[in-house]
Amino acid sequence: MSRFLFHSLALTGHVNPIAAVAEAVADRGHDVAWVGSEAFLRPVLGDDSTIYPTGMRLYRGLLRDRGMNATKSRWEGYIVPHTRFTLAAVERAVLDFRPDVLAVDQHAVAGALLAHRHGLRWVTLAPTSMELTRPYRCLPKVEAWIHGHLGALWTEAGLPGEPAHDLRFSPHGTIAFTTSGLAGPGPFGGQIRFVGAALGRRRRDVTFHWSALDPRRRLVLVTVGTLSFDVCRDFYLRTVEALRPLGNRVQAIIVAPEDGLTDLPPHLLTTPEVPMLDLLPHLDAVVSHGGLNTVCEALAHGVPLVIAPIKGDQPINADRVVAAGAGRRVRFVRERPDQIRAAILGVLDDPGHRTAATKLRKEFDAAGGARAAAEHLERLAVGTAAEY
C-alpha cells in the first residue's frame, strides 16, 4: 500500500478528472489525501475524503481577459498568487501525510516546489491542453516571461540555484487528460502519458427532470462549464435565437441560472446544473466554450460538438476537434444566430461528424482513462514508472 497526495486548483474542470484518478487509486487499496480549498473540494469529493485545507481567496482579472491579456492575468492574477498563498499549507500536508507520491495539477505550482524541497516522487496532472503543445514556442519572450515567474517562485521557496526543468512538467512524467490524436502534433513538453477522459463517480447531487426529455427530437446541450453567466450572456442570447425556430426537430438543455434567460419556447429548457456523465449518452450534440474537460467527456461518449472558444486552451481544443472532423467552430463574440444555427444543424445532420466523434471515442477507450492514470501512479510509487 502506498500514499498519494493530490493537489489541485479549485476549478471544476480540473478537479473532476483528477478526482476520478484519486478514486481509482483508492479503489486499488492505497491511501489517498487531498490538499486544497476544503470549501470547494468537500462538496465534490464527499464527506469521507481526507482534505488538508489551504483556504481559498479570490483572484481577479480572470474572466474577461482574452488573448495575451488572458495569459498575463492567468499567471500574474492566479497561478503565481495561488502558489504563494498555498505553499505553507501544502508543506504542512506533505509533512503530516508523508506521501510516497505527489500528484500535482499542472498549474498548482506549490506542489511541484514542495516535491523538490522534500525529494518526493511526483507527477504532473494536465487537465487542460494549455501547456502541452507549447503554444508560445513561436513567442520566445512569452516563454521566457513564464519561466521567469517559475524561477522567481523557486527562489522564493528557498530552493537553490535555478529550476533544473520546467516546473509544469514533472521529470517523473505528465498525465494528460486527452489523447495524442486529439492533442495533435507536438512538440510536447516533458514525457506525456495520454490517458483520455478520466470519468469517475460524481458525488454532487444534481436535480434533473428526466421526464422533460422528448425522445422524438434531437437533444442538444448548451454549456460554458463553470464560467460566469454574465461573461457569456450575449452568447447565450444569440444561441437561444439560433435554436428558437428549431422546435419541430431539436430540444435543447441550456445550463444557465434559473432567472438568467426568459421568454423561452417550450423546446428550450434551462437548468443551473446537469448530471453530465449521465446525460451524455442521450445527447446528439454539445455546444460548448471548448474547455478540455467538456470536450473530452463529450468525445469519450462519441458526441460531436459546436465550439465557441473564448481563451486559454479553448481555441486549441476547437481547432483539434475541427481537424478531427468531430465538430464545428463558431466565434464566441461575433457569430450571428443564423451562423450558430447553421453550425448546430451541420453537426446534427452531417453523419461525418458523428462518425469522427465515434472514432475518437474508440481512441479514448483505448487510452484507459482514470485506470491508466492510477496504474502509472502506482508504478511511480514503487519506482517502476519507466517500464510502461
* pLDDT at res. 68: 67
* pLDDT at res. 388: 32
pLDDT, tens digit, 9 for 90 and up, residues 327-339: 999 999 999 999 9
* pLDDT at res. 125: 97
121 and 171 in contact (C-beta within 8 Å)? no
* pLDDT at res. 313: 87
Cross-strand bridge partners of residue 221: 253, 286
pLDDT, tens digit, 9 for 90 and up, residues 49-104: 999 999 887 665 555 555 667 788 888 989 999 999 999 999 999 999 999 999 99
Residue in this structure with the C-alpha cell 472558444, named with its chain if needed:
309
* pLDDT at res. 84: 96
What residue spans of the chain are helical by DSSP H?
Answer: 12-27, 38-45, 67-74, 80-97, 109-117, 140-156, 180-183, 229-243, 276-279, 292-300, 314-324, 337-349, 351-367, 369-381
Mean pLDDT per 10-residue run, the chain (388 residues)?
95 94 96 96 93 82 60 88 96 97 97 96 93 77 92 96 92 94 74 93 82 96 82 92 97 91 94 94 97 96 96 90 97 96 98 97 96 95 61
CA 210 to the chain's CA centroid: 26
Which are the contacts of 105, defined by CB distance < 8 A and separation ≥ 6?
7, 8, 9, 14, 18, 111, 125, 127
Which are the contacts of 369, defined by CB distance < 8 A and separation ≥ 6?
20, 195, 196, 197, 198, 199, 300
Q: Rounded to whole angstroms, how far apart are CA atoms 29 and 217?
A: 45
Burial class (CB in 10 A: 0-12, 13-18, 19+), 254: buried
380 and 121 in contact (C-beta within 8 Å)? yes
Q: What is the gyration radius of the CA atoms in the chain, in angstroms?
A: 21
In the chain the domains, ranked by start, together with CATH numbers, are 3-196+368-387 (3.40.50.2000), 210-365 (3.40.50.2000)
* pLDDT at res. 185: 74
